[in-house]
Amino acid sequence: MLDLELVYDTVLAKDYCGTCTKCIDACPTEAIVAPYQVDGSKCISYFTIELKDAIIPSEMKSKFQNWAFGCDICQDVCPINARSKPHSEQAFMPSEAFLHLTKKEWIEMTDEVFENLFKNSPIQRTRLEGMKRNLAP
């Protein structure tokens, strides 16, 4: 793809976590099994975004804490992330059209409405069928 010689960065070897285990302690499905190690088969983001099967195992679903698309609990509790600043990039802001959809509106949504509301959105990854699955009790 490139015909340029590139100067590569060195591998980041600094351990910013130290003895902190906030992400491990906060993970509702115990998907973070050790520092820098995630068991993807237990991760809410895996189940709600990547899993294409029709059924989420009930023992996992009961730990979702109302998450319907992804999970950022580990990011929310990380002290390193506390230093970050909110962005103001309009292209990354959620559309007002879907911020206040009710569960009933999601369940009754048609493919056409879904496609129009979520065009060019990461929510397309799970598809309407997946969102409805994620919202089911």
Q: What is the pLDDT of residues 3-54, one digit of tens each?
A: 888 888 777 667 888 999 999 999 999 999 998 899 998 999 999 998 887 7
Which residue in this structure is represented by tokens 């099994």?
A: 33
pLDDT tens by residue, 93-133: 888 888 889 989 999 999 999 999 998 888 899 999 999 99
Which of 68, 66, 78 is closest to 24 using CA atoms? 78
Residue 119, token pair as written in the block: 């065009």
**Termini Cα distance of the chain:** 47
User: Does the pLDDT at position 1 exceed 80?
Assistant: no
